[in-house]
Amino acid sequence: MLRPHGIILFAHGARDPAWAQPFQAVRTHVEQLRPDTRVALAFLEFMPPSLPEAAQQLAAQGCAEVQVVPLFLGAGGHVRKDLPHLMQALEKQHPDVRWTLQPAIGEDPEVIAAMAAVVARMGRTG
Amino acid sequence: MLRPHGIILFAHGARDPAWAQPFQAVRTHVEQLRPDTRVALAFLEFMPPSLPEAAQQLAAQGCAEVQVVPLFLGAGGHVRKDLPHLMQALEKQHPDVRWTLQPAIGEDPEVIAAMAAVVARMGRTG
């Protein structure tokens, strides 16, 4: 059996459940673009699932490799320090899965350009 | 004299100066798209300028109205609670400027779609 690929969208989390809505929308879009891929959300704090929990689910589904994508605009301490430690733990716990850490989504030129385009339009309506 | 419009891109801030690079890139893009508008960055914590400092600069440049755009992916406590208080203070301190608070950039469908497109491509390279 061909083992599926996985993607974990890793976000900060917040006390208000409504905070997660944009991240859930990103997940839905990615699932539409990649129907062959298992796409999970995970949060650093305040809301479930944690990264280890989401990783456990994808490993249990037989994923051969999982990309972890930080849904952060800038790469601060959470992305540069906390996340590499979490990745090391995943590699130990699930050695049969290839885990890859991607750059923070906010550093991508396409995301930067989209934010700028939206801001420039907001300015026009003021 | 026609008073210029202003935009303040309001981000969280971090201890590492490199964290601010994507936000500076957004600012540069917006300046290119809106050469008639004064565009400033401001940070909630860890790095200057603060929102009151950036607001003071734009007011001193004669801006008639300033849009404050939260460069946050989700609207958590910083956007829903801290920022409205900061806006009230700006209105008191600069009553001759019209201050408008925009939604968090991460809630915009175009930004959500761009993030999803980038993530979907990341998956392909794994």
The domain segmentation of chain B, as residue ranges, is: 5-125
The residue in chain B having the minimum alpha-carbon distance to the alpha carbon of residue A81 is: B16
**Range 34-93 of A in CB contact (< 8 A) with B:** 34, 37, 65, 67, 69, 71-77, 80
The interface predicted TM-score (ipTM) is: 0.95
Give the model's pLDDT for residue A75: 86
Residues of A in contact with B65 (CB under 8 A): 126
Average pLDDT over residues B87-106: 96
pLDDT in tens, A25-63: 999 999 999 999 999 999 999 999 999 999 999 999 999
Type and span of the H or E element at A42: strand A37-43
Q: B5-125 adopts what CATH topology?
A: Rossmann fold (3.40.50)
pLDDT in tens, A8-29: 999 999 999 999 999 999 999 9
Query: Cis (ω within 30 of 0) for the bond into A48?
Result: no
Q: B37, B23 in Cβ contact below 8 A?
A: no
Which residue of A16, A73, A116 is in closest CB contact with B73? Answer: A73
Q: Which residues pair with A98 in a beta bridge?
A: A65
